[in-house]
Structure 1
Amino acid sequence: MSRLRLAGVAVLAAALLSPLAPATAAPAPSGSSHLSLVRDTWRSFDAMTVRETGMPADNIGGDLDPATRSAYTSPTNIGSYLWSAIVAEDLGLISRRELVSRTKTTLSSLARLQRHLASGQYYNWYDPATLERLTTWPVDGSVVYPFASSVDNAWLAAALMVVRNAVPEARKQAQDLLTPMDFSFYYDPVGRGPDVPAGLMRGGFWDTPPPDPQCSLPGNYTGVGPEVYYTCHTYGSFASETRMISYVAISLGQVPPGHYFAPWRTFPDTCDWNWQEQKPSGEFVDYLGVPVFEGNYTYRGLTFVPTWGGDMFEELMPDMFVPEVRWGKDSWARQHSVYVRGQIEHGLNDAEYGYWGFSPASNPDGGYREYGVDIMGLDGPGYTSDQEKTAVDVGFEGCRDAQPLPETYGDGVVTPHAVVLALPYQPRAALTELAKLRRDFDAYGPGGYYDAIAVRSGKVAKRYLALDQGMIMGALGNLLGDDILRDAFTKGGAEQHLRPVMAMEEFNLPRRQ
């Protein structure tokens, strides 16, 4: 997105965010300015965070009572808190002194966490109060087998890259934590096959063999340190939040730039790949010697590159850090707005929920679940948009028969973070949606929008998740703070290593839709 258009959207948001009508049962946001949503969302982070360690919990109850904090956190949660604090300072919610103090406390705690020595990667779960690596799940006492996730570590690394540029007072601390993080540890150089000069990223690894039924592969791609047990899967779909691993690894100079082209946009259009959601239209194009099938899907007159599950955070969360529209003028610039329109079409005109914004979030019936628009995802089973898991199967011409389309959908579940992510691309529709959610449901509390709403039953998941609140803070920070996170992330290696390969690609999408 150009600076001029970004400024225009920010003005529109500033004009329209303040009059969002509060739901009757929810307290009005503090203050009347357009920053009220940011301020209330930041309040949830303040409540989630253990002050002594600077570590956020994974989630907290809707009343922000510290007693309802979860007793676990993850690298992604910690990264979400770090970048959200930067946004809070930039938009005037906390002082510079407070930002520096909070950041240094969190980084000091990160330095104390146990991590995998050979790769410098963090494990998935820690106690935010004691900083202990979890081997017992605090909710039910089950065994936790320590696992290093490539995508979770990528989000934390992205936050550290932002900190070192946005908070120079903590630059050395951030760099000292970032330097040992080696993402080539996940990089399978023959993930696409021996004849393709770029590989794929593994989902992560365990230190010791995981229990059945987990599938694992012993190995060590770098040869540094002992053998680990990799996930059997690699990340082969590019239009997913997992592309952040590629962005970070390329920016740090740890994998070849050609890796950008190794994950599939869609899988090919032959029956060998007929498990995917629909038969794509496209052709192979060569970039840096890597064959890329530039395929697309269609839905309700729109042509787009599918995400894995059909949800919003896969599409737009990496865009919080990498200026995909500016750097990918023939790829992402043709994609993001159209993808958002597809979600709107599904919610308003196909499923006829009257609302839209589908992304993994808290389940209003309890727990956590993936939500999405099934037909907009690569995965055959897909993420569905309602509690009844109403699926679509349009078939794969010549290989798999189509099934009848659903006559009706059930209790659709929308999440506010998906709508906020969409603000730069469909601003009026997104602002209207946010206002409707506050007007029609008990959807807003002391920490901003609750995590998810089942729109036909009216059930609301009244809790706050660090990840989802971090997406709201990040998206609004870029929108109202002139690309603060993107600018901080891209200085240095991203500009040098990542931008040139992004500029090469042309998605097989119309220039205008």
Structure 2
Amino acid sequence: MALAVLLAVSPAAPAPDNVLTTYAKDTWKSMVAMVDPATGLPADKIEGTLDPATRAKVTSPTNIATYLWSTVAARDTGIISKREAEQRVVKVLQNVRKLERHEPTGQFFNWYDPHTLALVTTWPDSGDPVAPFASSVDNGWLGAALLMIRSAVPSVARDADRLVRSMDFSSYYDPQGAAAQGTGLLRGGFWPVKPAGCSVESDYNDSGTTVYSTCHHYGAMTETRITSYVGIALGQIPRAHYFGMLRTHPNDNCDFGWAEQRAEGSWQTFEGVRVFEGTYGYKGMRLVPTWGGSMFEALMVPQLVPEDVWGAKSWGRNHPVYVKAQKTHGLDDAKYGYWGFSPSNNPAGGYREYGVDALGMDTDGYTSDQERTSVDYGYGDCRPAKPEPTAYGDGVVTPHASFLALRYAEKDALDNLAKIKKDFDSYGPGGFYDAVAVQSKTVAQQYLALDQGMIMIALGNRLTHDKLRGYFASRDVERALKPVLSQETWEVRP
């Protein structure tokens, strides 16, 4: 009888969909607060109070992309009407067309004033000069959002299609970038005017205009693959380029002895390109790493691209194990009591890359605590291993990482978020604040357009049965990408 009474008076736990819908409604408030009413473009970030006076005075192609797909997510989850969503998207596209671009390539620069639309050449806070730079990954996110908008908002389909096709992603494609694999790689971006540091003169799209590309390429299978997907989908980059990117470095000599660990794997050939199908080990698991070891690098792309469906034996195997490894690190290895590590605002001030060092290819990869506690497993006879850490410090978790993990470990992700919300002053008028240092209980009480946009698209997909991914995966995009992604089988182990 006592048990019956207890059950009668105890409130039922909220249904997951109700919880997720509440999160979506609150997160959307932060996106709306970041929008400049004059132009409809979002700021880069805003303080946790959502006071319009605290909006950043800059925006980027990535910020604009996150706002576009967040608007669609808000519409499809019933937070806003179809009419409001269309009005917001129309206003964005009208003003994006007014932004100054690098005309020979159609690429957007990194920073604009969201109120005036002017190109930022002086940083608002410090007065430091800003050299205009076209980033391949920032333009990749905007290109991906425009491909999605074509299907999501039929009234602007033609405008979105025309705009994305005016962006020439071949301007980043160096055909000699992966000469050993027989294919090219993407440069990180370019400056129209020669910068003070390292640069390479280039004219990859044969426009007759010299630009000054970054000295580095994007060679790993990290978040930058979104630009590869967009370029391949538009027919601007050869599809074989996908196989030129590293899964891991080959393990046959000490040339790659700087890498985080020596991979296990074998050589395979796809479309004439030799690919080393390698994996890293972590706590009994085997997985394909990212560059730094963060959730953003691994799981932002599949919020738009159904790579775990099209690449069921590669990405479809890897993504769940990556989530499990992040969880294992936070709960069992570092013993923070929480998990989810990804670049975010630093609770101590500024911005920092956070991740799980062991899950990244870079020896000096992203770390999960403020003390930058790292691992070094060595590299065979090339580099001796160091003892593993006996303890970790002030771990920093960011809620957007748990939202990215929803697809692969929903209960664990929801439990983690509920615990973060209960144990810290981590939730405000616009949803979860950006990051929490769990030992010091310090909270970064800001909202970033990128991080809130990741939350919105993850929630939008979950609550609408992947409608947002479906918008990106139109027939022409599927025809271009699915045959590429479907070829590999990665020896991933949970």
Give the TM-score of the pair, scaled to structure 1. Answer: 0.92
Structure-2 separation of matches of 1:138 and 1:224:
33
Question: For 2:178, what is the secondary structure of its paired residue?
Answer: coil
1:411-422 map, 5 Å: 411-422=394-405
Structure-2 separation of matches of 1:246 and 1:445:
36
1:202 equivalenced with 2:184 (yes/no): no
Q: What is the CA distance between 1:508 and its match in structure 2?
A: 2.4
1:94 equivalenced with 2:76 (yes/no): no
Check the 8 A contact 2:39/2:115 in 1, yes or no: yes
Q: Pick from 285, 309, 315: which aligns with 2:268?
A: 285
Task: Kindly provide the CA deviation profile for residues 139-180 of structure 1, in whole angstroms up to 9, marking residues without a partner as x.
Answer: 100000000000000000111111111001111221221121
Task: Kindly provide the CA deviation profile for residues 238-270 of structure 1, in whole angstroms up to 9, marking residues without a partner as x.
Answer: 1x1001011111111111111111100000112
Q: What is the CA distance between 1:490 and its match in structure 2?
A: 1.0
Structure-2 separation of matches of 1:291 and 1:232:
24
Question: For 1:501, what is the secondary structure of its paired residue?
Answer: helix
1:453 equivalenced with 2:436 (yes/no): yes
1:164 equivalenced with 2:150 (yes/no): yes
Q: Which residue of 1 aligns with 2:118?
A: 132
Cα 1:17–1:483 change in 2 (3 A) is: closer
Check the 8 A contact 1:337/1:425 in 2, yes or no: yes
Q: What is the CA distance between 1:347 and its match in structure 2?
A: 0.3
Q: What is the CA distance between 1:437 and its match in structure 2?
A: 0.4
Q: Pick from 318, 326, 347: which aligns with 1:343?
A: 326
Structure-2 separation of matches of 1:417 and 1:106:
24
Structure-1 separation of matches of 2:225 and 2:424:
34
Q: What is the CA distance between 1:404 and its match in structure 2?
A: 1.5
Structure-2 separation of matches of 1:275 and 1:234:
17
Structure-2 separation of matches of 1:75 and 1:207:
17
Q: Pick from 460, 472, 480: which aligns with 1:497?
A: 480
1:301-450 map, 5 Å: 301-450=284-433
Q: Which residue of 2 aligns with 1:112?
A: 98
Check the 8 A contact 2:17/2:463 in 1, yes or no: no
Question: For 2:65, what is the secondary structure of its paired residue?
Answer: helix
Question: For 2:386, what is the secondary structure of its paired residue?
Answer: coil
Q: What is the CA distance between 1:492 and its match in structure 2?
A: 3.0
Q: What stretches of structure 1 of length at least 5 have no aligned partner? A: 1-12, 19-32
What amino acid maps onto 2:31 in structure 1? F
Check the 8 A contact 2:48/2:430 in 1, yes or no: yes
Q: Which residue of 1 aligns with 2:131?
A: 145
Q: What is the CA distance between 1:17 and its match in structure 2?
A: 5.7
Count of residues paired in the alignment: 481
Structure-1 separation of matches of 2:417 and 2:64:
27
Check the 8 A contact 1:136/1:144 in 2, yes or no: yes
What amino acid maps onto 1:152 in structure 2? D
Q: Which residue of 2 aligns with 1:72?
A: 58
Check the 8 A contact 1:347/1:356 in 2, yes or no: yes
Check the 8 A contact 1:253/1:493 in 2, yes or no: no
What amino acid maps onto 1:105 in structure 2? K
Question: For 2:354, what is the secondary structure of its paired residue?
Answer: coil
Question: For 2:127, what is the secondary structure of its paired residue?
Answer: coil
Structure-1 separation of matches of 2:159 and 2:58:
24
Check the 8 A contact 2:287/2:322 in 1, yes or no: yes
Task: Kindly provide the CA deviation profile for residues 317-339 of structure 1, in whole angstroms up to 9, marking residues without a partner as x.
Answer: 00011111111111011111111
Check the 8 A contact 1:196/1:289 in 2, yes or no: no
Check the 8 A contact 2:181/2:275 in 1, yes or no: no
What amino acid maps onto 2:391 in structure 1? T
Structure-1 separation of matches of 2:320 and 2:482:
21
What amino acid maps onto 1:199 in structure 2? G
Structure-1 separation of matches of 2:376 and 2:333:
15
Check the 8 A contact 1:336/1:425 in 2, yes or no: yes
Structure-1 separation of matches of 2:467 and 2:183:
32
What amino acid maps onto 2:15 in structure 1? A
Structure-1 separation of matches of 2:204 and 2:305:
27
Structure-2 separation of matches of 1:290 and 1:130:
47
Check the 8 A contact 1:17/1:431 in 2, yes or no: no
Structure-2 separation of matches of 1:110 and 1:406:
48
Q: Once superposed, what is the RMSD of the aligned Cα atoms?
A: 1.2
Structure-1 separation of matches of 2:198 and 2:459:
39
Q: Pick from 164, 177, 198: which aligns with 1:191?
A: 177
Q: Pick from 465, 470, 481: which aligns with 2:448?
A: 465
Structure-2 separation of matches of 1:307 and 1:150:
18
Structure-1 separation of matches of 2:14 and 2:492:
32
What amino acid maps onto 1:54 in structure 2? G
Structure-2 separation of matches of 1:301 and 1:197:
34
Structure-2 separation of matches of 1:14 and 1:191:
52
Question: For 2:183, what is the secondary structure of its paired residue?
Answer: coil
Q: What is the CA distance between 1:34 and its match in structure 2?
A: 4.0
Q: What stretches of structure 2 of length at least 5 have no aligned partner? A: 1-12
Structure-2 separation of matches of 1:437 and 1:95:
31
Cα 1:60–1:474 change in 2 (3 A) is: same
Q: Which residue of 2 aligns with 1:508?
A: 491
Structure-1 separation of matches of 2:86 and 2:456:
18
Q: What is the CA distance between 1:197 and its match in structure 2?
A: 3.6
Question: For 1:507, what is the secondary structure of its paired residue?
Answer: coil
Q: What is the CA distance between 1:406 and its match in structure 2?
A: 1.0
Q: Which residue of 2 aligns with 1:230?
A: 213
Structure-2 separation of matches of 1:225 and 1:417:
42
Check the 8 A contact 1:104/1:173 in 2, yes or no: no
1:221 equivalenced with 2:207 (yes/no): no
Question: For 1:199, what is the secondary structure of its paired residue?
Answer: strand
Check the 8 A contact 1:209/1:229 in 2, yes or no: yes
Q: What is the CA distance between 1:14 and its match in structure 2?
A: 8.0
1:264 equivalenced with 2:246 (yes/no): yes
What amino acid maps onto 2:98 in structure 1? R
Give the TM-score of the pair, scaled to structure 2. Answer: 0.96
What amino acid maps onto 1:41 in structure 2? T
What amino acid maps onto 1:336 in structure 2? H
Structure-2 separation of matches of 1:298 and 1:119:
41
Task: Kindly provide the CA deviation profile for residues 188-231 of structure 1, in whole angstroms up to 9, marking residues without a partner as x.
Answer: 111111x64421000000001112xx210011012104100000
Q: Which residue of 1 aligns with 2:229?
A: 247
Structure-2 separation of matches of 1:51 and 1:172:
25
Check the 8 A contact 1:116/1:123 in 2, yes or no: yes
Q: Pick from 283, 294, 298: which aligns with 2:277?
A: 294
User: Which deviates more from structure 2 when the two are superposed, residues 246-255 or residues 168-177?
Assistant: 168-177
Check the 8 A contact 2:172/2:186 in 1, yes or no: yes
Structure-2 separation of matches of 1:498 and 1:440:
43
Structure-1 separation of matches of 2:51 and 2:118:
23
